[in-house]
Structure 1
Amino acid sequence: MSFATTLCILVAALGVEAAFGYPQRLYQLIGHPVTWIGALIAKLDRDLNRDDESSSARKASGVLALLVIIAITAGLAWIIQIALAPTWLGNLGLVLLASTMLASRSLYDHVRDVADALQNDGLDAARIAVGRIVGRNPQTLDEHGVARAAIESLAENASDGVAAPVLWFALLGLPGLVAYKAINTADSMIGHRTPRHEAFGWAAARLDDLVNLPASRLTGLLFALAARLVPNSSMDDAFRAMRRDAYRHRSPNAGWPESAMAGALGLKLNGPKTYGATLVDDAYMGDGRSEANADDIFRALRVASVAWALMLAGLLGLALILRV
């Protein structure tokens, strides 16, 4: 499959996902590719992550589990791509498959739900809505904290859920996309610094940091460029916040899109937050006001939407150039 064809499939997949998302009825009927990957990860966690083994042995088991996960998922994706790619109908199948692993529509809808709840239904409803997209304890958040959490989640997941899958599909086709989703899902399930997973999930967490590195920088760049086109947003402040704050974030990748979004909107994001009962002291992104509200969430959604449109336009333009 040529690079131009890959880009055309990717552009079409982005369009399908943005228009339709992943239908709830289909999810209820067969689940989702990520849930299938998650089931494999959970089985390997049960079978290989033994409490009676040493830390080094559990780390080695985690490396083995990650290799198995990538080999199975990417291998199946490669077989599917080889089988489908030669025909236009097969390429349509690749479009539909790729669209299931992109998340711009679902991310937009979940973040918009938080803004709508804040605006129309009150703090309790907004806490419930934001609790669906963040890991922190929503009961510790006031109205401003809920709004900041939603914007931070939008910024970080725009990289993990949109830019990174797009990048890996563009580079390696369906196997690259599926391998990325497997690594990202493994990190979300076992890449935690807990007694059970600190050693076993070490490889998943480190590899996830690596494969997300280019997309996080790209997302920050797209947010900054988008801010130039969105009213009441600042491209210059987005670049300034990235240069100053991105490396101060606890995550090697999340600081880039979060700082860019903070600068673009004139906000102060991130900072100390509570996960469960644990307070995590993290650096602030941006130096604007911390009193975010529903209007700021809607502005963040406009910045993200324009950023995705710029990415789509870039992919389409490159595909047309290669086709000439």
Structure 2
Amino acid sequence: MLVHSDALWLVVAALLLDAVIGDPDWLWRRAPHPVVWIGNGIGWLEQRLNRETWSKQARKLAGVLTVIVLVSIALLVGAFISDLLHGHWLGLLVEALIASLLIAQRSLYQHVARVHHAFAEGGLPAARKAVAMIVGRDPERLDDAGVARAAIESTAENFSDGIVAPVFWLALLGLPGLIAYKAINTADSMIGHRTDRYVDFGWAAARLDDLVNLVPARLSGVLVAFAAPVIRGSIVTSLKTMLRDARKHRSPNAGWPESAMASALGIALSGPRVYAEGAANEPYLNADGRVAEPDDIRRALRVYAVACGLEIVIYALLAWLL
């Protein structure tokens, strides 16, 4: 499916709906979120195909098969829904509403903002509890700077894989592309770990997630850089820092938006940190920047909000021009 104006207007409508509505809690208290369905499917396949008695090669092949089945079903479901709703403005609206449920603009803002509010209302203990909801590192080992750094890194990274990437695949392949991307991203978060259980079985999910995020991650970094002036940051400096530091990150993708955000805020991000599965001793991004402070979370959210707005404007302009 080639990119055309209908697909781009679908993107714009989905982003606007997500910005206004977000994730309605009242709905998900009554019905499982689509990502929960995807996760249940991954769990079902993993229980049956990831056998400890199998060889490493067999488990890797089983993981490849799992990803093929998962992506195929996602594409078929997306195509069925699109065909069912195609050809009417009301169908486009329903499709945009479905797409908005798989985009995390508003919910990411709300989760990160809770960390900033927790600092103001309950200090470091409350902030630790709030940040534990969005990052995998050990919150009890985090001081004020560590919590702030974790929240800001989560903002930057999830801007890429929670907003820019799903929207990119929605624009390129329509609803099938969006659902397939969410299936891949969810599989990576569930089985794409370097633990004994998943290092082989989750290999395909992790590598495919890296692949489908290559372009969106770089687009995310550019959007963050262009949003830097909202907090008196420099677009040029952010872009230069991103090009210099992005590859220092252990992820081939996360370093792009994180290094752009670090430069925009004038702080150092990444660096040594402790996760549940162990320590990660990594170099800093924008190492010459100062130590992060709680108020930098608020500043990061301003950059994030403007970057989201720029994305909507860009897709609207593309839709209008096409």
What secondary structure sits across from 1:198 in the alignment?
coil
What secondary structure sits across from 2:279 in the alignment?
strand
Contact 2:129 2:139 in 1 (8 A): yes
Find the counterpart in structure 2 of residue 194 from structure 1: 195
Q: CA deviation at 1:289?
A: 3.8
Find the counterpart in structure 1 of residue 56 from structure 2: 55
Find the counterpart in structure 2 of residue 314 from structure 1: 314
Contact 2:263 2:289 in 1 (8 A): no
Q: CA deviation at 1:142?
A: 0.2
What secondary structure sits across from 2:274 in the alignment?
strand
Find the counterpart in structure 1 of residue 72 from structure 2: 71
Please list the CA deviations of residues 227-253 of structure 1 after superposition, one character each: whole Å capped at 9, or x if unmatched. 13x133222321121121101110000
What secondary structure sits across from 2:211 in the alignment?
helix
What secondary structure sits across from 1:279 in the alignment?
strand
Q: CA deviation at 1:119?
A: 2.1
1:32-51 matches, within 5 Å, as: 32-51=33-52
In the alignment, the residues of structure 1 paired with residue 236 and residue 10 of structure 2 have an alpha-carbon distance, to the nearest angstrom, of 34
In the alignment, the residues of structure 2 paired with residue 77 and residue 20 of structure 1 have an alpha-carbon distance, to the nearest angstrom, of 22
Q: CA deviation at 1:290?
A: 4.3
1:66-145 matches, within 5 Å, as: 66-145=67-146
Give the aligned residue type for 2:283.
A
Q: TM-score, normalised by structure 1?
A: 0.97
Contact 2:231 2:302 in 1 (8 A): no
Contact 1:237 1:263 in 2 (8 A): yes
Find the counterpart in structure 2 of residue 273 from structure 1: 273
Gaps in structure 1 of 5+ consecutive residues = none
In the alignment, the residues of structure 1 paired with residue 64 and residue 277 of structure 2 have an alpha-carbon distance, to the nearest angstrom, of 30
Give the aligned residue type for 2:77.
L
Question: CA-atom RMSD, angstroms?
Answer: 1.1
Q: TM-score, normalised by structure 2?
A: 0.97
Contact 1:110 1:133 in 2 (8 A): yes
Find the counterpart in structure 2 of residue 166 from structure 1: 167
In the alignment, the residues of structure 2 paired with residue 242 and residue 79 of structure 1 have an alpha-carbon distance, to the nearest angstrom, of 40
What secondary structure sits across from 2:30 in the alignment?
helix
Gaps in structure 2 of 5+ consecutive residues = none
What secondary structure sits across from 1:274 in the alignment?
strand
After alignment, is 241-250 or 288-297 more displaced? 288-297
Q: CA deviation at 1:164?
A: 0.1
What secondary structure sits across from 1:247 in the alignment?
helix
1:256-295 matches, within 5 Å, as: 256-276=256-276, 278-295=278-295
In the alignment, the residues of structure 1 paired with residue 197 and residue 34 of structure 2 have an alpha-carbon distance, to the nearest angstrom, of 26
**Count of aligned pairs:** 321
Contact 1:268 1:288 in 2 (8 A): yes
After alignment, is 287-296 or 85-94 more displaced? 287-296
In the alignment, the residues of structure 2 paired with residue 77 and residue 213 of structure 1 have an alpha-carbon distance, to the nearest angstrom, of 22
Contact 2:269 2:285 in 1 (8 A): yes
Q: CA deviation at 1:120?
A: 2.3
Contact 1:269 1:290 in 2 (8 A): no
Residue identity (%): 53
Find the counterpart in structure 1 of residue 6 from structure 2: 5
Q: CA deviation at 1:283?
A: 1.8
Give the aligned residue type for 1:295.
D
After alignment, is 168-177 or 235-244 more displaced? 235-244
Contact 1:180 1:211 in 2 (8 A): yes
Give the aligned residue type for 1:130.
V
Give the aligned residue type for 1:221.
V
Please list the CA deviations of residues 184-206 of structure 1 after superposition, one character each: whole Å capped at 9, or x if unmatched. 00000000001110000000000
Give the aligned residue type for 1:244.
R
Please list the CA deviations of residues 24-59 of structure 1 after superposition, one character each: whole Å capped at 9, or x if unmatched. 111111111101000000000001000000000000
Contact 1:62 1:199 in 2 (8 A): yes
Structure 1's consecutive aligned runs of 4 or more residues displaced over 3 angstroms after TM superposition are none
In the alignment, the residues of structure 1 paired with residue 115 and residue 206 of structure 2 have an alpha-carbon distance, to the nearest angstrom, of 28
